[in-house]
């Protein structure tokens, strides 16, 4: 799992992180950015440029709190850039760390001082073609992953963090806990390097420490502690560009030309120059962050920006009475038993190179059939269309990550829909003046090819409801309206779009349907009349039949009664 994590819900497809990544170690899948851990150099650029705060750095604070709660001996190696990260002096920071429960605090500058001594030894030996400083762990990752042919020109020396951790353990015991506190993300990867022998137990960033101070209410206190024993050495100038070079004695630099380079892009430019050219006898101080460690991705910046941060550090480096070269501490003296050698490994990945046919096929899929269509605008996060196509081939990018293509496609689809819909469509401004209209509107209202833009809708359509909708808040949907001057019966929707100060009018011509409906109504009315007449006639016939049946029945009854009496009379006589 990468040290930097993306918050899935926050990613807004702006591709800014891809654009800022110097090594293209960010993939975009399922509309979500993700770090490619094996390719990442942990420079932190993506963290600092994200406008949605969609990225976070894994925190070790809870781990450190557990160390302290268990009453373990927890020692701090404090990066010298702390003086520029907090609006307090070293005595207050020392006090605050003590209040958090740390056993002992020292400056990483103690380790940096001895790393510089190792560089002096390399300069004196003059065995290396060039010497690239190995203090910045992001630069180490950059060279190991992307410039492995230059591994033999990396100074084979551990970083100040590891050097100081080894010195602390040698002085105070191997069982202590060592926590590095600094502005760097890549230190979180470095302390997990098995080659470093588990010298560091946790890495806390200045951002994390700031939140911790805030939680404990320490900013409300002005207490300090005097007598910072074994705090640090004059190598506290390390964080500024050229700071490492300033800690090396001039007499050792005569065999090599010295140069300081900061910022990933400039470092990559120099490294590429070394690969391509016959460059030698350079001592090159490299820092992936612009402004050195003072520009670290997890640097808690105080008001005043880089200039103030630099001034604070330089003033701190000039101060005496804390620790100087003439009074080396017990920690520094422990160096005699500490091995500061370092070996670097080739971590590069050999990616397949897509053929020209494959690249062109990917470009064709988004409408780039010719060179003039390759705009190389960088909106997708890549420097060129072909670079992005290569990223698609490697599964890092999605083919639709092309703003000009998607915009052109969206406009094309919307234009097709608007121009070919049978409905008349008008777009009106806040003054009910026509901004746009489609072909159906021109045909429906016999406008021909006249330019109606800027004309009032009332000049074409006499309807009071436009004003009512504009002044009110309710839109009107599918309301029947008759435009007598055009001989039209329509269903009309008047939609107010507040956020754009626009009124959209959509008109459906239902004149033919209405005429057909009237015919059907007339036909039904006629049928009802016929049915009514038939029913009345049937009732008359029924009544006549009933009347005739009634008379006949009565006569029959009389006759039968007479017959019955006659028969009964004859039987009586017998």
Check: CB of residue 225 under 8 Å from CB of residue 91: yes
**φ, ψ at 432 (rounded to 5°):** 60, 30
- pTM comes to 0.73
Contact 199, 166 (CB under 8 A): yes
Q: How far apart are CA 178 and CA 193, in angstroms?
A: 15
Q: Kindly report the backbone phi and psi dihedral angles of residue 238, in degrees, each rounded to the nearest multiple of 5, phi listed first.
A: -50, -40
Q: Give all strands (DSSP E) within 183-327, no chain letters.
A: 202-205, 257-262, 282-287
**CA 497/CA 506 separation, integer angstroms:** 13
Q: What are phi and psi of 220, to 5 degrees?
A: -80, -5
Q: Which residues of 147-172 are buried (b: 16+ CB within 10 A; e: fewer)?
A: beebbebbbbbbbbbbbbbbbbbbbb
According to the model, what pLDDT value does residue 126 have?
A: 93
Enter the CATH code of domain 351-420.
Answer: 1.10.15
Structural domain 59-337, CATH architecture: 3-Layer(aba) Sandwich (3.40)
- Main-chain phi, psi angles of 474, to 5 degrees: -95, 135
Fold of 1-58: Alpha-Beta Plaits (3.30.70)
Structural element, H or E, at residue 89:
none
Q: Which residues contact 447 (CB under 8 A, 6 or more apart)?
A: 437, 441, 460
Instruction: Identify the CA nearest to 43 among candidates 285, 308, 210, 267.
Output: 267
- Positions of E strands within 114-255: 131-132, 177-182, 202-205
By the 10 Å C-beta count (0-12 exposed, 13-18 middle, 19+ buried), 93 is classed as buried
Interatomic CA distance for residues 409 and 93, integer angstroms: 57
Domain 422-509, CATH: 3.30.450.20
Q: In angstroms, rounded to a whole number, what is the distance separating the alpha carbons of residues 466 and 474? A: 11
What's the chain's Rg over C-alpha atoms?
44
In the chain, domain spans? 1-58, 59-337, 351-420, 422-509
Residue with tokens 């991705």: 297
Token pair for residue 323? Answer: 């620790």
Dihedral pair phi/psi, residue 92, rounded to 5°: -70, -40
Per-position pLDDT tens, the chain of length 574: 578 877 766 777 788 888 899 999 998 887 788 889 999 999 988 888 888 777 788 899 999 999 999 999 999 999 999 999 998 888 899 999 999 999 999 999 999 999 999 999 999 999 999 999 999 999 999 999 999 999 999 999 999 999 999 999 999 999 999 999 999 999 988 887 766 668 999 999 999 999 999 999 998 888 877 667 667 777 888 889 999 999 999 999 888 999 999 999 999 999 999 999 889 999 999 999 999 999 998 887 777 888 888 898 888 888 754 444 434 444 454 455 788 999 999 999 888 889 989 988 998 888 888 888 888 888 888 889 998 889 889 888 888 888 887 777 766 676 777 778 889 999 888 888 988 888 888 889 988 878 888 889 988 898 888 888 888 868 889 988 999 889 999 999 999 888 777 888 999 999 988 888 888 888 887 878 787 788 778 888 777 777 777 667 667 766 667 766 766 666 655 4
């Amino acid at each position: 799992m990468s040290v930097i994590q993306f918050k899935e819900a926050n990613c807004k497809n702006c591709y800014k992180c891809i654009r800022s990544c110097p090594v293209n170690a960010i993939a975009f899948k399922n509309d979500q950015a993700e770090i490619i851990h094996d390719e990442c150099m942990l420079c932190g650029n993506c963290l600092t440029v994200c406008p949605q705060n969609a990225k976070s750095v894994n925190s070790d604070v809870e781990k450190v709190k557990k160390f302290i709660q268990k009453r373990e001996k927890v020692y701090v190696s404090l990066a010298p850039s702390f003086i520029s990260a907090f609006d307090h002096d070293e005595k207050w920071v020392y006090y605050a760390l003590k209040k958090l429960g740390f056993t002992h605090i020292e400056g990483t500058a103690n380790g940096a001082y001895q790393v510089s001594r190792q560089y002096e030894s390399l300069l004196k030996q003059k065995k290396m073609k060039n010497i690239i400083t190995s203090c910045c762990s992001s630069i180490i990752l950059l060279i190991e992953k992307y410039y492995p042919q230059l591994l033999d020109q990396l100074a084979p020396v551990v970083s100040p963090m590891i050097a100081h951790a080894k010195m602390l353990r040698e002085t105070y015991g191997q069982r202590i806990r060592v926590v590095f506190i600094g502005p760097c993300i890549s230190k979180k990867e470095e302390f997990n390097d098995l080659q470093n022998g588990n010298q560091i137990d946790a890495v806390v960033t200045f951002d994390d420490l700031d939140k911790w101070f805030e939680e404990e209410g320490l900013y409300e206190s002005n207490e300090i502690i005097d007598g910072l024993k074994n705090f640090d050495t004059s190598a506290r100038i390390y964080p500024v560009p050229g700071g490492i070079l300033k800690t090396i004695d001039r007499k050792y630099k005569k065999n090599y030309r010295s140069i300081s380079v900061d910022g990933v892009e400039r470092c990559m430019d120099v490294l590429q120059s070394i690969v391509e050219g016959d460059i030698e006898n350079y001592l090159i101080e490299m820092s992936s962050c612009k402004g050195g460690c003072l520009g670290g991705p997890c640097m808690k910046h105080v008001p005043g920006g880089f200039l103030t941060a630099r001034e604070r550090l330089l003033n701190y480096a000039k101060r005496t009475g804390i620790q100087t070269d003439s009074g080396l501490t017990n920690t520094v003296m422990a160096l005699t038993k500490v091995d500061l050698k370092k070996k670097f490994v080739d971590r590069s990945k050999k990616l397949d190179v897509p053929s020209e046919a494959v690249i062109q096929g990917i470009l064709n899929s988004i409408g780039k059939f010719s060179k003039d269509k390759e705009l190389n605008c960088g909106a997708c996060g890549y420097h060129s269309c072909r670079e992005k196509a290569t990223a698609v081939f490697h599964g890092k990018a999605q083919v639709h990550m092309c703003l000009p293509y998607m915009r052109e496609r969206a406009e094309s689809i919307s234009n097709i829909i608007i121009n070919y819909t049978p409905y008349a469509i008008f777009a009106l401004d806040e003054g009910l003046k026509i901004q746009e209209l489609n072909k159906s509107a021109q045909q429906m209202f016999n406008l021909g090819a006249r330019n109606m833009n800027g004309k009032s809708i009332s000049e074409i359509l006499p309807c009071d409801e436009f004003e009512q909708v504009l002044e009110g808040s309710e839109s009107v949907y599918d309301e029947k309206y008759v435009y007598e001057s055009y001989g039209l019966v329509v269903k009309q929707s008047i939609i107010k779009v507040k956020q754009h100060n626009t009124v959209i009018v959509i008109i459906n011509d239902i004149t033919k349907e209405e005429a057909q409906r009237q015919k059907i109504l007339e036909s039904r009315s006629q049928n009802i009349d016929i049915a009514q007449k038939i029913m009345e006639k049937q009732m008359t016939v029924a009544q006549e039949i009933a009347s005739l049946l009634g008379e006949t029945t009565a006569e029959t009854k009389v006759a039968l009664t007479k017959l019955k009496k006659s028969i009964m009379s004859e039987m009586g006589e017998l």
